[in-house]
Amino acid sequence: MTITSEESPLLPLDPHEQVYKRFTPWQKRVILAQVSLSGLLPLFSSGTFVPAIPRISEDLSVSPAVVSLAVSISICGAAVGSLIFAAYSRYYGRRPVYLFGLPFFCAASYGITAVTDVRLLLFYRFFQSFGVSSGMSVGAAVIGDIFKLEERGRAMGVFFAMSLLGPAIAPFVGGAATRYASWRALQAFLCGCGILLLLVMYRWFPETSHPGSRGVDKELPVAERRSFKFVWLNPLSGLYLLRGPTLLIVVLSGYTVLLTDFVLLIPLAYTFGPRYNITNEALIGACFIPAGIGNMIGAPLAGYLSDVGVVKWRAKRGGVWYPEDRLRTTLFGAAVCVPGSILMVGLTLKFVPGTIGLVICLFCLFVNGIGVDLVLSPCAAYLVDVMHSRSAEMMAANQGSRALLLAASVTLIIPSINTLGVLATNVISAFLAWLGFIMIWACIKYGDRMRAWIDVGYSTAEDN
C-alpha cells in the first residue's frame, strides 16, 4: 500500500470548478461593479428623461404625447441593440461589445443637447439607448461567466440593485435639472458619464467568456485572432430560443410585471401632479424615489432568497437540481406586491385626496418597486441558469422581446388614462400582472414537462 506524503501534489481541480476560479474574489467584485454601472447608465438616462417631458414639449412646440414617443423609441433602440450585441458578444466576447457600444451613447447624448426638432430627438434617443443596450443582456451573461450556480442569484441581485440605483435617483435629478438648469445640460452630463465609463472599461474590464467558448476561438487559428475580421451574424437567432415554453413564460410574465412600473411612472406628472397640486419638476421627480428605493431593496433580497431556495430544494431532492426552484422566490411579489400596489394607487388617486392620499401612493410605489424585483431578479438568474452556454442571447431575447412589447404598450398608457381613466387603466395592468403570476406558478409546477416538450439546448447542473 502506498502512503501519500505531505509533499504529494494536490488533486487537480474539477474543470467545472476551475473555470470559475480564473478571477479572484476581488477581481470579480471589480468586474461586477463595472457591468452594474453599464446597467445603471441606460436606466439613469431614461429615468432623467421622463420628468422633463412637459418642458421638452414646450421647448419643441409639440404635445407631451409626441415627446413620450421618445420613450417608446428608446425602448426599441434597447431591444434592437441588445439582440445585436448579445449575438456578437458570443462570437467576439464581452469586452469588445461594451467598447463598441458606448461611443454610440456618448455621441447621441451630445446630439440631444442641440436638437430643435422632435424628429432629431427621436433619432438620437434611439441610438442613445442602442449604445448602452448591452448593459442588461451582456451584463447578466458576464455574471454567468464568473459566478457559479449557487452564487449567481446574489451576484444578479447586486447587479440589479446597482443598476436600479438609476431609477431611484434619475427622476429627481432629471426634474431638478429641468427646473433649475436645463434638460439639455443634463444630456451633456450623460455624455460625460458615458465617456468616463468607456475609459474605465477600456482600462480595467477583462474578457470574461469561458476559454474556448467564443465563436472566434472555434473558427480562427490563434495567430489570426488578434486581427479583426468582421463576421455577419443573425441577431434574431436568440429569439428562436423562446420556442422553449418555460423561457417564453418567464419572458411574458416579466413583461406583465414590468408594465405595472411603466403604467405608474410614465404618466406620473399627469396623475400625481394634478391630483395633489405638484407643479415643481423636481418634486415630481422626487415622487419616483420610493419606487427606486424599493428596486434597490428588492433586487439583492430576491437574489439572496433565490440562491437560498436553490440550495434548500436541491438538498431536499437529494442533490437533484430542478431549475424552476429559483422561481419560487417570485410568487409573493407576483401575486401580492405588484398587482396589489398598482390597484391601490388607482383607488387612492380616485378616492383619497390630500396629503394622506399622496403618502399612500408613494408607499405603493415603494411596494411596487420591491415586488417588481422580487420577480425580475430571480427570473433573470433562471434564464442564465437554464441557458448558460447562450446566456447573453437568452437575456437579449428576454430584454428585446419584452422591450418591444413595452414599446407598443407605453404608447397606449396616456391615451388609456385620457379615455378610460387612471383607475380603469391600473385595473387592466393589475389583471395582466395576475396572469403573469399564474404563468410563473405553472412554470414552477410543470417546468420539467415543459422543458421536455422542446429541447432548445438547456443547461444541466454539470455545465452550470
CATH number of the domain at 102, please: 1.20.1250.20
What residues contact 8, with CB distance under 8 A and at least 6 apart?
Answer: none
Q: Is the pLDDT of residue 123 over 90?
A: yes
Q: Is the pLDDT of residue 222 over 80?
A: no
Distances (CA, A) of 71 to 176, 183, 264, 334, 457: 20, 15, 14, 25, 35
Q: Is residue 5 part of a domain?
A: no
Query: Cell numbers at residue 94, please?
Result: 464581452
Q: Is the pLDDT of residue 185 over 60?
A: yes
Q: Is residue 228 part of a domain?
A: no
Lowest mean pLDDT, pick from 60-74, 165-179, 413-427: 165-179
Phi then psi for residue 14, to 5 deg, are -55, 130
Q: What is the dihedral of CA 294, 297, 300, 304, to 10 degrees?
A: -110
Q: Is the pLDDT of residue 464 over 80?
A: no
> Which of the pair, 219 or 153, is modelled with greater confidence?
153
Q: Is residue 16 part of a domain?
A: no
Q: What is the pLDDT of residue 205?
A: 94
Q: Is residue 215 part of a domain?
A: no
Residue numbers of the domain that contains 191: 24-210+237-463
Distances (CA, A) of 166 to 174, 182, 291: 11, 19, 11
Q: Is residue 226 part of a domain?
A: no
Q: Is residue 222 part of a domain?
A: no
Instruction: Tell me the H-state helices in 242-322.
Output: 245-265, 268-275, 281-286, 289-316
Q: Is residue 167 part of a domain?
A: yes
Residues 379, 156: Cα–Cα separation, whole Å:
10
Query: Cell numbers at residue 13, please?
Result: 481541480
Q: What is the pLDDT of residue 404?
A: 79
Q: Is residue 397 part of a domain?
A: yes
Residues 164, 162: Cα–Cα separation, whole Å:
5
Residues 327, 331: Cα–Cα separation, whole Å:
7
Which one, of 173, 163, 52, lies nearest residue 112 by Cα?
Answer: 52
Residues 166, 83: Cα–Cα separation, whole Å:
22
- Residue 111's identity, in one-letter code, is G
Q: 215 and 225 in contact (C-beta within 8 Å)?
A: no
Q: 290 and 363 in contact (C-beta within 8 Å)?
A: yes
Number of domains in the chain: 1
Render pLDDT for 389-445 as a digit per residue (tens, 0 to 9). Answer: 788 788 888 887 887 788 788 788 888 998 999 999 999 999 999 999 999 999 999
Average pLDDT of 317-325? 90
The length of the chain is: 464
User: For the chain, how long is the longest CA-to-CA vector?
Assistant: 90
Query: Cell numbers at residue 430, please?
Result: 393589475
